[in-house]
């Protein structure tokens, strides 16, 4: 991610689906104004989608996902459907590219039923309208275009923008918790796990949100907090800490000051907080031989370092005293079948879009597997959960 880039979790994810000969690639190129095969960040094989983050007017920051031809012989039957389902888990708007000369085929109908099953809003794009003698009237979620002649492309983008408008999160990160002029203290450890020369994404996003709400963010390391806190002439509205430093910070911040963590704010922002608080009690019910899945949202998570692989497993074993098996997954490898797990502990999910976080939660809920997240689990195992969520009084009933 470049310095000024919108994080991928904040982008509207637009997936292009269709058969190989429907002109999908030319349509993707016409919509993006770029040759995706050349500019894409991920190299596509017959089974892998190609992704590219870009600004797309009039939509704004998007993630374009160009999927392999749905009728590709390289991926057959179940595997193809499963792959498409996986892509749909993070797709906010689906674009189905249909060959206008051939009309809707069984293959296209199969894709439409997958969109409907996943409740993904979609637009059916009849490409190659230049081959038609008369262009039929389009229904509401249909459009006739010619990628070859560049006709109907702007209208298509407007249609996608219209559908994608509701895809983003409406939840605030911290701005609803403070007033104009409030001081907020952010506790940010600068240790070996911290990336060189910059702050991590949730910290950047919280600072941005506080500034937008008219507050002031004072950043301090956990080691200097006891010295700096008394120097403030006014009591801060809130202290927000890295969850790993929660124990120490909780002891240093007087009880009458609200205290929470970046991870808890992020969980609320992604729509996971209530479920995570509800699920955390399952830690105390773990038995010998249970398997806990520790899931991370991305694979290049230097900022999460060894929390998932070392620290949480150790805390779990110490807290429960049980002989547990720890399984891990990262990036897109979140398993659809969770039946072998007694509990899922998910990372903050800062790189995932809301749809994907919701999907993972639903997977767990449908299979009656409790799910929680790093921040909540850490706070629970350190006996400071109550304090870390007191900023959200509605959660009291779940504690």
Nearest distance in Å: CB 347, ligand SF4: 3
Stretch (H or E) spanning 359: helix 354-366
Q: Are 95 and 16 in contact (CB under 8 A)?
A: yes
Using the rule CB under 6 A, give the single segment among 20-28, 56-64, 156-164, 296-304 that binds ligand SF4.
296-304
CB of 323 to ligand SF4, least distance (A): 26
Could you say which residues in the range 23-62 bind ligand SF4, by CB under 6 A?
none
Write down the H helix ranges in 68-122: 77-88, 106-117
Pairing of strands 122-127, 142-144: parallel
Take residue 96 and report the two structure tokens written for it.
């189905």
Minimum distance between the CB of residue 300 and ligand SF4, rounded to whole angstroms?
A: 8
Contact flag: residue 297 with ligand SF4 (CB under 6 A): yes
Q: Give me the least distance between CB of 324 and ligand SF4, in Å please.
A: 21
Please state the length of the chain: 399
Interhelix angle 77-88/106-117, rounded to 10 degrees, is: 40
Q: How many residues bind ligand SF4 (CB under 6 A)?
A: 12
Least separation in angstroms between CB 333 and ligand SF4: 12
Establish if 296 lies at the interface with ligand SF4 (CB under 6 A).
Answer: yes
Residue (299 or 325) nearer to ligand SF4, CB = 299
Closest-CA residue to 98 (of 43, 18, 26, 176): 18
Q: In the bound complex, what is the minimum distance in angstroms from residue 38's beta carbon to ligand SF4?
A: 28
HSE-up (13 A, CA, CB side) for residue 162: 10
Query: Does 304 contact ligand SF4 by CB under 6 A?
Result: yes
For residue 283, the minimal CB distance to ligand SF4 (Å) is 19
Pick the closer one to ligand SF4 by CB: 352 or 395: 352
The yes or no reply on residue 303 touching ligand SF4 (CB under 6 A) is: yes
* Interface pattern 320-359 for ligand SF4 (x via CB under 6 A): ---------------------------xxxxxx-------
Binder to ligand SF4 among 148, 219, 220, 298 (CB under 6 A)?
A: 298
Query: Across the beta sheet with 50-56, what order do the strands follow?
Result: 50-56, 60-66, 12-18, 93-99, 122-127, 142-144
Closest among 83, 64, 65, 87 to 74, alpha carbons compared: 83
Contact between 301 and ligand SF4 by CB under 6 A: the answer reads yes
Q: Is the dihedral of CA 7, 9, 12, 17 positive or negative?
A: positive
Rounded CA separation 146/126 (Å): 8
- Residue 25 or 263: the one with the smaller Cβ distance to ligand SF4 is 263
Token pair for residue 170? 């409406």
- Beta bridge mates, 52: 64
State the nearest-atom distance from the C-beta of 381 to ligand SF4, in Å. 18
- Which residues form the interface with ligand SF4 (CB under 6 A)? 296-298, 301, 303-304, 347-352
């Amino acid at each position: 991610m470049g310095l000024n880039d919108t994080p991928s979790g904040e982008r509207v994810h637009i997936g292009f689906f269709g058969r190989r000969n429907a002109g999908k690639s030319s349509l993707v190129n016409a919509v993006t104004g770029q040759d995706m095969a050349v500019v894409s960040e991920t190299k596509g094989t017959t089974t892998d989608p190609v992704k590219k983050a870009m600004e797309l007017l009039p939509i704004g920051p998007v993630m374009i996902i160009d999927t392999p031809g749905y009728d590709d012989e390289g991926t057959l039957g179940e595997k193809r459907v499963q792959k498409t389902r996986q892509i749909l888990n993070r797709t906010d708007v689906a674009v189905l590219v249909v060959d206008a000369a051939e009309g809707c085929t069984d293959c296209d109908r199969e894709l439409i039923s997958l969109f409907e099953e996943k409740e993904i809003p979609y637009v059916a794009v009849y490409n190659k309208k230049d081959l038609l003698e008369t262009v039929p009237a389009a229904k509401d979620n249909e459009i006739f275009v010619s990628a070859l002649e560049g006709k109907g492309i702007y209208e298509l983008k407007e249609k996608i923008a219209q559908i994608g408008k509701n895809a983003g999160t409406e939840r605030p990160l911290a701005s609803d918790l403070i007033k104009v002029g409030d001081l907020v203290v952010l506790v940010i450890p600068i240790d070996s796990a911290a990336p060189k020369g910059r702050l991590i994404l949730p910290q950047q996003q919280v600072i941005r949100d506080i500034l937008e709400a008219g507050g002031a963010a004072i950043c301090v390391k956990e080691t200097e907090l006891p010295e700096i806190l008394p120097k403030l002439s006014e009591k801060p509205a809130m202290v927000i800490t890295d969850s790993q430093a929660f124990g120490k910070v909780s002891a240093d911040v007087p009880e009458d000051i609200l205290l929470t963590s970046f991870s808890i704010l992020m969980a609320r922002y992604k729509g996971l907080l209530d479920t995570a608080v509800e699920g955390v009690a399952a830690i105390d019910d773990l038995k010998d031989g249970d398997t806990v899945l520790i899931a991370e949202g991305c694979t290049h998570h230097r900022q999460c370092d060894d929390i998932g692989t070392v620290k949480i497993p150790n805390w779990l074993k110490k807290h429960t005293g049980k002989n547990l098996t720890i399984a891990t997954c990262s990036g897109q490898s979140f398993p659809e079948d969770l039946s072998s797990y007694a509990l899922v502990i998910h990372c903050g999910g800062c790189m995932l879009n809301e749809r994907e976080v919701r999907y993972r939660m639903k997977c767990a809920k449908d299979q009656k597997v409790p799910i929680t997240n790093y921040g909540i689990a850490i706070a629970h195992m350190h006996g400071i959960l109550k304090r870390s969520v007191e900023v959200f009084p509605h959660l009291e009933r779940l504690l």
